[in-house]
Amino acid sequence: MKNLVGIILAAGQGTRMYSGLPKVLHNVAGQPMLDHVLEAVAALEPDRIYVVTGFMAEKVREHVGDRAICVHQKRRLGTAHAVRQVVPHLKEFRGDVLITVGDAPLIRPETLLELVKRRRAHHVAATVLTTELENPTGYGRIVRNRDGTVRKIVEEKDTNVYEAAIREINTGIYVFDCQRLLEALERVRNDNAQREYYLTDTVEILGKLGFEVEAMVAEDPTETLGVNSRADLARAENLLRRRIAMSVMEAGVTVIDPATTYIDKQVRIGKDTIIHPFTMITGKVEIGEECIIGPHVHIADSKVGAGSHLQFCYVQEAEIGSGVSVGPYALVRPGCKIANNTRIGTFVEVTRSKIGEGCDILHLSYIGDARIGNRVSLGTGTVTINFDGNTKHQTIIGDDVFLGSNTRLIAPVEVASGVRFPHNAELTGKVRSHEQQPQARKAKSQTQRKRPKTRPK
């Protein structure tokens, strides 16, 4: 949208969060609140976005990066004072200024767009986004004129009994005609209960200057929820999570129980995938079509191909192909690439490994630092011994290899394609065939001799 700038107020510490982290950097649905707001404002494609920083400004600035211009507010003297920090950048600007707060992460771009369009269509000095709340405690109250325009906004601490009873509240989101905003800002004083320069005072000032201010009532009050405490944070998380689950379902995904399913905002899921209860899909995740995910699965920052089946497992920073099954009770750690139609079974841990197509690693295995070819079958209890106490070593296995139960791969080890060992082998170095590994046979016969003594029949 042309002739539009966005301002996001984010200088506050968030005293009631009792946190060392700036409030706007607290996560909701897997990303900082500020990111949600930034994304909503950016969706309107304004000419520029300003973020007003204060508390831990460096950290906020670093996080914002090149997504917006950060303007520092040295002392926190109120929301009007915060906007004043941007004024030097706006002197020449003719157009709309959209002001939002960094602690209202549920705002949707559609609502912001509607707000801007409304002001432009009605040629008013400003349009305030309001909403009606059962319990308006803590918010500024909207006082209307007889003709429905907004006369003023009264902060809770400055209300009289009549004003306190008003249920229409200020969401802290507004669109101003830029030059009108600048005129009004000059006139804001701090003669109020909190000794702050209130941005909300601009409304009454504009009225006195002969300009009209309108309200646009947000139909969904949850969209404008302001987060001031950890309890609010949990509320926002819950609402956003429900919204994400709804949009996932609208895209053709079955979510059996949205109440116990946690899907972050950056997750993409293909249609006809079914998500079973107690499942978390966090960070940047892509899941293909027709998968079955859950129950009790956590997938973080990973890719899963179509038709895969994951249950009772944790998959982290991994790439999983199509038609793969993982679990129950499996751990796939960072740096794994598991190709199509491979099965990772029960009590199997895989880390920093590439596993080819059509492999079976079905029971009680540890696979670390391995490169495994296609159609490889590793029997129960097969483990890579990748760490000698100092260094991690690689295990390389070719195609069509069969290693039976209880095989120990002492890395560095390289098993050639087609090699088969029925069970109990201890393999190290270059393994070209069964015969070339006498020490393996020795190890095998030793364990076989010991077994009957230790194992009860």
Q: Which residues bind Ca ion (CB under 5 A)?
A: 226
91 vs 88: CA distance, rounded Å? 6
Considering the complex, state which of residue 169 and residue 313 has its C-beta at the smaller distance from ligand UD1: 169
Considering the complex, state which of residue 14 and residue 358 has its C-beta at the smaller distance from Ca ion: 14
Q: Kindly give, in sequence order, each residue whose CB lies less than 8 Å from that of residue 319, ignoring residues fewer than 6 positions away.
A: 302, 303, 336, 337, 338
234 vs 28: CA distance, rounded Å? 8
User: Nearest residue to Ca ion, using CB?
Assistant: 226
CB of 139 to Ca ion, least distance (A): 9
CB of 61 to Ca ion, least distance (A): 21
Q: From ligand UD1, Ca ion, none, which one binds at residue 169 (CB under 5 to 8 Å depending on kind)?
A: ligand UD1
Considering the complex, state which of residue 195 and residue 449 has its C-beta at the smaller distance from ligand UD1: 195
Considering the complex, state which of residue 11 and residue 205 has its C-beta at the smaller distance from ligand UD1: 11
Residues that bind ligand UD1 (CB under 6 A): 9-12, 52, 54, 73, 76-79, 81-82, 101-103, 139-140, 153, 155, 169-172, 198-200, 226
Number of residues that make up the chain: 457
H-type alpha helices, 94-253: 109-122, 161-164, 178-186, 201-208, 230-250
Considering the complex, state which of residue 21 and residue 274 has its C-beta at the smaller distance from ligand UD1: 21
* Inter-residue contact 101 to 184 (CB < 8 Å): no
Beta bridge partners of 214: 127
CB of 80 to ligand UD1, least distance (A): 7
Respond yes or no: is residue 26 known to be catalytic.
no
* Inter-residue contact 80 to 97 (CB < 8 Å): no
Considering the complex, state which of residue 226 and residue 404 has its C-beta at the smaller distance from Ca ion: 226
CB of 120 to ligand UD1, least distance (A): 23
Q: From ligand UD1, Ca ion, none, which one binds at residue 386 (CB under 5 to 8 Å depending on kind)?
A: none
User: Nearest residue to ligand UD1, using CB?
Assistant: 140
* Inter-residue contact 340 to 357 (CB < 8 Å): yes
Q: From Ca ion, ligand UD1, none, which one binds at residue 82 (CB under 5 to 8 Å depending on kind)?
A: ligand UD1
DSSP-derived pairing of the beta strands 31-32 and 27-28? antiparallel
Q: From ligand UD1, Ca ion, none, which one binds at residue 5 (CB under 5 to 8 Å depending on kind)?
A: none
CB of 76 to Ca ion, least distance (A): 12
Helix, strand, or coil here: 275? strand
Active-site position among 363, 393, 423, 434? 363
Q: For 411, list phi and psi in degrees, rounded to 5.
A: -75, 150
Helix, strand, coil distribution of the chain in percent, nearest 5:
25, 35, 40
* Inter-residue contact 171 to 192 (CB < 8 Å): no
Beta bridge partners of 32: 27
Residue keyed to tokens 């905002």: 265
Q: Kindly give, in sequence order, each residue whose CB lies less than 8 Å from that of residue 391, ignoring residues fewer than 6 positions away.
A: none
CB of 203 to Ca ion, least distance (A): 18
* Inter-residue contact 395 to 386 (CB < 8 Å): yes
The catalytic site residues sit at 363
